[in-house]
Structure 1
Amino acid sequence: MSQTIRHPEILDIARREGKVTVEGLAEHFGVTLQTIRRDLSDLAHAGRLERVHGGAVLPSGTTNIGYEERRRLNADGKTAIARACAAQIPENCAVFLNIGTSTEAVAVELMHHRNLLVVTNNMNVANILSQNRDCNVIVTGGSLRHSDGGLIGDITTAAIRQFKFDIGVIGCSAIDNDGDILDFDVQEVGVSQAILTRSRRTLLVADHTKFKRTAPARIASLQNVDMFFTDRALHPDLSARCADWGTEVQICAGKGKA
């Protein structure tokens, strides 16, 4: 198999898993470790991947990957996370859902909830829940971000501060090893911080790929959320910190996983 055929598949695996390993790819393609190392070096030189010890990850930086690509990334894991998160949201309550593909997945899982007041700065969430006649949807307003249908800025933050939510559900772009929750857009960070301060209970939804990326703007710490839903076990050090902080971590198994 030529490298021109391997490269797109390597990128597809990296998008699904967040990381690829030299040994895993060599076994997958039936080629030598040296061949895979050359492939990864070529993809890194082209800016498609970043080399790490033993393999490569999706490139990090100051801009996020495309929204449609993020929707496809680890879809099964996000569905499992969303289902577990939605199970923690009772009927007859006020909920905020922010921007992100993971929060969109939560919206889908709320389609049969009754008597919800959902406030959102995510046009996609509003469109999803418009199909639930037992759900009252309020859109915050703000500056429309065309890339993902998100509403951000001072108008959005001011609208959020008019409410006191029973539950606030947020996503993020990355999570650092020390438990810091990160994002790319400073204006979106301000919105997320407002949600955290105006919610009685806060839930974070983020799949394992967020641990393999970085972003420049800090939202908060895992210490500042009540529950964290993800699809793979945390590093033992971070898991211990969450236990000390009182942050409940729920590992959600995707399709075909134990």
Structure 2
Amino acid sequence: MVSTFRQKEIIELARKDGKVTVDGLAQLYDVTVQTIRRDLSELADLGRLERVHGGAVVPSGVVNLVYDERRRMNEEGKKAIARACAERISNGASVFMNIGTSTEAVAHELLDHENLLVVTNNLNIANTLAANHSCEIILTGGVLRRADGGLVGGLTADMVRQFKFDYSVLGCSAIDEDGDLLDFDGQEVLVSRTAIGRSRNVMVVADHTKLQRKAPLTICGLSDVNVWFTDGALPDKLAQDCADWGTDVVLV
């Protein structure tokens, strides 16, 4: 296979699964590990991937990925997470849902729920839940972030502060090894923190790729979370920390 075409496929695999490994790619393409290492190094030099021990991940740092790229990453994992989360939400509940592809996946799984009140700062979630005619949808005000249909800022937080939610369903951009939930946009962080303070139950939907990424701003700690839905085994220390904090970890 010509290197250019192989590298394009490697990028798509990384977007889908969150990470690619040298050994796995060498076996997949029937080439040497040295060839794959060279591919990954070239992609890293171009800023398309970020090298990690044994492979590469989709790059992160101080700027988030394009929303459509995030939506394609680990789609099956996000669907499984979303189903598990939706099963914990009772009919007739009040729910806040923030911006994100994982929370958007949860919205799809709530289409058969009855008599929900959903407050969201995500246009995509509002449009999805519009198909559920027994669901009352309240869209917050705020500054429109055109890149992902999010509404953010002080006006959004003020709107959220008026409610007391049975559940908040929150996504994040990254999870640090110490259990901090991280994001890129201070205005979005403000909204999520406000929702946490107005919720009886805080539910986080974050797949295994979030443990491989970085972001500069802290939303909260997993110690502030009631349930975390994810699709991969946790590092031993983080798993023990969650147990000590009383954070229920649901592996799908």
Give the structure-1-normalised TM-score. Answer: 0.96
The SS at the match of 1:119 is: strand
The SS at the match of 2:31 is: coil
- For 2:37, the aligned partner's letter is R
Find the aligned partners of 1:116 and 1:21 in 2 and give their Cα distance.
42
Deviation at 1:2, TM superposition (A): 1.7
Q: Deviations over 1:87-109 (max 9, x none)?
A: 00001111111100111111111
Matches within 5 A, 1:95-114: 95-114=95-114
Find the aligned partners of 1:206 and 1:41 in 2 and give their Cα distance.
28
Q: Deviations over 1:205-232 (max 9, x none)?
A: 0111111110000000111000000011
Deviation at 1:71, TM superposition (A): 0.9
Deviation at 1:240, TM superposition (A): 0.4
Q: Deviations over 1:28-84 (max 9, x none)?
A: 100011111111111111111111221111111111111111111111111100000
Q: Which residue of 1 aligns with 2:126?
A: 126
Find the aligned partners of 1:101 and 1:122 in 2 and give their Cα distance.
10
- Residues 1:224 and 2:224 are matched in the alignment: yes
Matches within 5 A, 1:60-79: 60-79=60-79
Find the aligned partners of 2:121 and 2:244 in 1 and give their Cα distance.
32
Percent identity over the alignment?
Answer: 60
Deviation at 1:4, TM superposition (A): 0.8
Q: Which residue of 2 aligns with 1:32?
A: 32
- For 2:176, the aligned partner's letter is D
Find the aligned partners of 2:50 and 2:61 in 1 and give their Cα distance.
11
Q: Which residue of 1 aligns with 2:4?
A: 4
Deviation at 1:192, TM superposition (A): 0.5
Find the aligned partners of 1:168 and 1:54 in 2 and give their Cα distance.
36
Deviation at 1:21, TM superposition (A): 1.2
Find the aligned partners of 1:219 and 1:36 in 2 and give their Cα distance.
37
Find the aligned partners of 1:27 and 1:75 in 2 and give their Cα distance.
23
Find the aligned partners of 2:193 and 2:24 in 1 and give their Cα distance.
39
Q: Which residue of 2 aligns with 1:91?
A: 91
Q: Which residue of 1 aligns with 2:250?
A: 250
Unaligned runs of 5+ in 2: none
Deviation at 1:136, TM superposition (A): 0.5
Q: Which residue of 2 aligns with 1:174?
A: 174
Find the aligned partners of 2:14 and 2:130 in 1 and give their Cα distance.
34
- For 1:240, the aligned partner's letter is Q
Deviation at 1:13, TM superposition (A): 1.1
Find the aligned partners of 1:83 and 1:246 in 2 and give their Cα distance.
22
Q: Which residue of 2 aligns with 1:256?
A: none
- For 1:191, the aligned partner's letter is V
- For 1:54, the aligned partner's letter is G
Q: Which residue of 2 aligns with 1:210?
A: 210
Cα RMSD (Å): 0.7
Find the aligned partners of 2:126 and 2:52 in 1 and give their Cα distance.
39
- For 1:8, the aligned partner's letter is K
Find the aligned partners of 2:224 and 2:188 in 1 and give their Cα distance.
17
Find the aligned partners of 2:47 and 2:135 in 1 and give their Cα distance.
44
Matches within 5 A, 1:138-217: 138-217=138-217
Unaligned runs of 5+ in 1: 253-258
Find the aligned partners of 1:170 and 1:219 in 2 and give their Cα distance.
10
- For 1:100, the aligned partner's letter is G
